[in-house]
Copies of this chain bind each other. A is one copy, B any other.
Amino acid sequence: MGRVHLEAVRRVGTVDVAAIVGRRADAAQNLATAFGVERTETDYRRILEDKSIDAVHVCTPNSQHAPISLDALQAGKHVLCEKPLTTSSAEARKMVELARSSKLRNCTCHNLRYYPMVQHMRRMREDGDLGEILVVQGTYSQDWLLYDTDWNWRTDTAANGPMRAMADIGSHWCDMAEHVTGQRIISVSADLQTFHKTRKQPKGSVETFTGKTLAPTDYTETAIDTDDFGSVIFHMTPRARGAFTASQVSSGRKNMLNIEIYGTKGAVSWNQERPDELWIGNRNTNNEVIVKDPSLLKEKARSYADVPGGHGEGYPDTFKQVFRRFYASITDPSAAPEYPEFSDGLRQLEILDAELESHKGRRWVDIK
Contact = CB atoms under 8 A, between A and B. Distances in A.
B254 A310 contact: yes
A264 interface: yes
Interface stretch (A84-92, A97-105, A241-249): A241-249
Contacts of A251: 262-267, 281-283
Interface in A1-43: 3-4, 6-7, 10-11, 13-14, 16, 34-36
B362 A364 contact: yes
Nearest to A4: B307
Interface stretch (A46-54, A67-75, A231-239): A231-239
B281 A252 contact: yes
Contacts of A288: 286-289
A313 interface: yes
A280 B290 CA distance: 11
Interface stretch (A55-63, A153-161, A207-215, A339-347): A207-215
A276 B312 CA distance: 9
Contacts of A10: 10-11, 13
Interface in A267-304: 267, 272-277, 279-296
Contacts of A281: 143, 250-253
A311 B315 contact: yes
A242 B231 contact: yes
Given A13-B10, A273-B291, A309-B209, A195 B253 contact: no
B233 A252 contact: no
Q: Give the interface size class of chain A.
A: 35 or more
A144 interface: yes
A13 B137 CA distance: 41
How many copies make up the complex?
A: 4
B308 A255 contact: yes
Interface in A137-163: 137, 139, 141-144, 146-147
A189 interface: yes
A250 B267 contact: yes
A278 to B, nearest CB: 8
A310 B191 contact: no
Interface string A339-368: 000000000000000000000001110000
A134 interface: yes
| Of A189, A193, A242, most B-chain CB atoms within 10 Å | A189
Interface of A: 3-4, 6-7, 10-11, 13-14, 16, 34-36, 134-135, 137, 139, 141-144, 146-147, 189-191, 193, 195, 208-210, 212-213, 229, 231-233, 235, 239, 241-245, 247, 249-256, 260, 262-267, 272-277, 279-296, 306-317, 320, 362-364
5 contacts: A6-B13, A250-B267, A287-B288, A287-B289, A363-B364
Given A254-B310, A312-B315, 4 more contacts: A208-B308, A252-B281, A289-B289, A312-B312
